[in-house]
Amino acid sequence: MKQTVVAVSVTLVCVLLVCGMGGYAQVYANGRKVPIYCVDRSDNLVSISFDAAWGADKTRQIMDVCDSYGVKATFFLVGFWVDKYPELTAEIAQRGFEIGTHSATHPQMSKLSEAQCRDELTVSVKKIFELTGKPVTLFRPPFGDYNNTLIEVADGLGLYTVQWSVDSLDWKGLSAREIVERVQNAQSGDIILCHNNSDHIVEALPLIFEALKLKNLTFCPIGELIYTQNYTIDNSGKQIKTVANAV
């Protein structure tokens, strides 16, 4: 039993070391820290993401549509979803899509202690890493709910805390056209929020991709959209590149 505990601990440490240290959230006069909502970019890059907590019926269809348009999206997976769909989790990674953690149990994390926040993240990161062999560097808080403690814990574990700047509201049962109408205003540096099992997301995706292509926007995973060093985050959650100090 003791050997098993030691082995698990060593594995987890390795996962976190592979992930590396994340960036930082800018601290303001009121002491509030902010996640990344969007990125200050002028190169017409945007990201689309899918949160996965309940259900998986449409996940492969989503990947198929993305593949047909050459889009590599980011999936944020909850730990219990990973437990229920291990083969699908592995397939997401195998097909070249990025995976971030959406916590282990999808709680309101601002109500958790520092230790509980750390457990939610380390447990979920470990599950994803063991199935995919790929380090996890992104974290999206359930319900978009966060506080300083959560961001500091995520930073300490090498995770960039990421929200969204364009909300499809697909989970509300909107039609494909209504979803597209909400997303088509995306601009360079935006992060689009969708869900992997919403009612009309599969029908909406081709329309989204076509609409944003007409605006000369190109999709990339969130990990390629954000800056991983030499940046600040303003009070709106926009990540801004800074010039590194001369050595």
Q: What is the pLDDT of residues 198-229, one digit of tens each?
A: 999 999 999 999 999 999 999 999 999 999 99
Q: Are strands 191-195 and 166-167 parallel, antiparallel or unpaired?
A: parallel
Q: CA-to-CA distance for 67 and 82, rounded, in angstroms?
A: 22
Q: CA-to-CA distance for 124 and 135, rounded, in angstroms?
A: 11
Contact (CB, 8 A) for 99 and 128: yes
**129 pLDDT exceeds 70?**
yes
**29 pLDDT exceeds 50?**
no
Beta strands in the chain (DSSP E): 38-39, 45-52, 74-77, 98-101, 138-139, 160-161, 166-167, 191-195, 218-219, 231-233, 238-241
Q: Does domain 2-241 have CATH number 1.10.569.10?
A: no
Q: How many percent of the chain have pLDDT more than 90?
A: 85
Q: CA-to-CA distance for 245 and 179, rounded, in angstroms?
A: 43
Taking all residues of the chain, what is their mean pLDDT, rounded to a whole number? 90
pLDDT at residue number 30: 60
Looking at the DSSP assignment, which residues form a beta bridge with residue 192? 48, 166
To which residue do tokens 């062999």 refer?
133
Looking at the DSSP assignment, which residues form a beta bridge with residue 162? 36
Q: Residue 78 corresponds to which tokens in the numbers above? A: 């909850």
Q: CA-to-CA distance for 64 and 145, rounded, in angstroms?
A: 31
Q: Where are the domains of the chain?
A: 2-241
The larger pLDDT score, comparing residue 41 to residue 4, is at: 41
**Residue 167, φ and ψ in degrees, nearest 5:** -105, 115
Nearest to 46 by CA among 181, 166, 143, 196: 166
pLDDT at residue number 32: 84
When pLDDT is cut at 50, 70 and 90, the band that residue 31 belongs to is confident
What integer is the mean pLDDT of 96-104? 98
Residues 154-186 pLDDT 10s: 999 999 999 999 999 999 999 999 999 999 999
Q: CA-to-CA distance for 10 and 224, rounded, in angstroms?
A: 29
To which residue do tokens 């440490």 refer?
13
